[in-house]
Chains A and B, each alone.
Chain A
Amino acid sequence: MPTFVYMSKCDGCGECVDICPSDIMHIDPTHRRAYNIEPNFCWECYSCVKACPQNAIDVRGYAEFAPLGHIVRVLREEAKGCISWKIKFRDGREKNFESPIRTTPWGSIKSPADYAAPSQDAFETQELAHEPETLNIDQLPELTPLKIKDGVI
Chain B
Amino acid sequence: MFTSNPFAELAAFLPAIAMQVYIVLMIVAVAVGTLLDMIHKNSGKFFAEQRKKSKAAATKKLSGAESASIAVKTLAYEVATAGEFCNMQRRISHILMFYGFIFYLVTTIVMIFGYPTHATPTPAFIPALWNLGVIMILIGGYWFFFFLRVNVAQDGQPVFRLVLADLFIVTLLGSVTFAFVWELVQTTGNLAATKIAFGLYILFTTLLFGSVRWSKLAHMFYKPVVAFQRRLDEASGSSSLPTPSTRNELS
Interface size on B, residues (CB 8 A): 32
Which of A11, A18, A79 has the most B CB atoms < 10 Å from its CB? A11
Mostly, the B contact residues are loop
Report if A54-B84 is in contact (Cβ < 8 Å); known contacts: A29-B165, A30-B164.
yes
B190 on the A face (CB < 8 A)? no
Report if A13-B245 is in contact (Cβ < 8 Å); known contacts: A26-B155, A31-B165.
no
* A interface list, Cβ under 8 A from B: 8-9, 11-14, 17-18, 26-32, 53-55, 71, 73-75, 77, 79-82, 84-86, 88, 96, 98, 102-106
Tell whether, in the assembled complex, residue A86 and residue B85 are in contact, meaning their CB atoms are under 8 Å apart: no
Tell whether, in the assembled complex, residue A27 and residue B150 are in contact, meaning their CB atoms are under 8 Å apart: yes
Tell whether, in the assembled complex, residue B242 and residue A96 are in contact, meaning their CB atoms are under 8 Å apart: yes
* CA distance in complex: A102, B164 (Å): 42
B188 on the A face (CB < 8 A)? no
The proximity string for B residues 134-156 relative to A, scoring 1 for CB distances below 8 Å and 0 otherwise, is: 00000000000000011101110
The proximity string for B residues 77-95 relative to A, scoring 1 for CB distances below 8 Å and 0 otherwise, is: 0000000111100100000
List 7 tightest A-B contacts by C-beta distance, closest first. A14-B154, A29-B163, A84-B242, A32-B165, A53-B86, A14-B150, A8-B226
B22 on the A face (CB < 8 A)? no
* CA distance in complex: A17, B242 (Å): 24
* CA distance in complex: A102, B251 (Å): 11
B243 on the A face (CB < 8 A)? yes
Pairs across A and B, CB under 8 Å, 17 listed: A8-B230, A9-B226, A9-B230, A11-B84, A13-B86, A27-B150, A27-B151, A29-B163, A32-B150, A53-B86, A54-B84, A71-B240, A73-B242, A81-B250, A86-B240, A86-B241, A105-B250
Tell whether, in the assembled complex, residue A73 and residue B241 are in contact, meaning their CB atoms are under 8 Å apart: yes
Select which of B85, B153, B164 is within 8 A of A29 by beta carbon.
B164
Report if A104-B250 is in contact (Cβ < 8 Å); known contacts: A30-B165, A75-B242, A98-B245.
yes
Tell whether, in the assembled complex, residue A17 and residue B154 are in contact, meaning their CB atoms are under 8 Å apart: yes
Tell whether, in the assembled complex, residue B90 and residue A13 are in contact, meaning their CB atoms are under 8 Å apart: yes
